[in-house]
Amino acid sequence: MARLRSIDPASCEADIARRRRERQDCTLGWLGDRLVYIRWDSRGRDTFLPFLGRTLHLLEGDVYSAHACASRALRGHGVHSIFHLRALHRARELGFVRSISIAAWWNTPALRAGEKAGRTCAGTVGFTRTPRGRRYFAAGAVHLDGAASFHVER
């Protein structure tokens, strides 16, 4: 846990347990004996997104790039791009036909990494706060499914 937290301070045992229940795979990148990269990919059917408060329902053939983080010292040096492309190639080898990721509109490095990997924006999902709680919205190929989940159409 100490090594994971050195790269991603938000990592905690409960979050890791949830990711394992959802059949997420963890890839660790090392430089010698130093952990420099963490990546979680979901190949299960449903992945809960705590930052959104909804579950992403994956369609057959989808893989979701759930989380990735490089050590601060190596950010901007292509570490994320290398591991991201490697994960896309591995997903293809395993028979997945589509890779989905979510980046906040303000997260310029994540958006840039997606562009480098040839990703396109399929749509938008989010919420606004109201006195009664959250009011969710979706646009483009993103569709809200009932009260707790959403999916990205083909």
Q: What is the DSSP secondary-structure string of 25-68?
A: EEEEEEETTEEEEEEEEE-SSEEEETTTTEEEEPPTTEEEEEEE
CATH number at residue 126: 3.40.630.30
Can you give the pLDDT of all 154 residues of the chain as single tens digits?
A: 788 888 888 888 898 888 888 889 998 989 898 899 999 999 878 889 988 999 999 999 999 998 888 888 888 887 888 888 888 899 999 999 999 999 888 988 788 877 877 888 999 999 999 999 999 999 999 999 987 899 999 8
Cα–Cα distance measured from residue 75 to residue 78, given in angstroms and rounded to the nearest whole number? 7
Number of domain units in the chain = 1
For residues 42 and 23, is the Cβ–Cβ distance under 8 A?
yes
Q: What is the DSSP secondary-structure string of 113-128?
A: HHHHTT----EEEEEE
Cα–Cα distance measured from residue 64 to residue 58, given in angstroms and rounded to the nearest whole number? 8
The reported pTM is 0.82
- Domain carrying residue 70: 2-152
Cα–Cα distance measured from residue 37 to residue 28, given in angstroms and rounded to the nearest whole number? 6
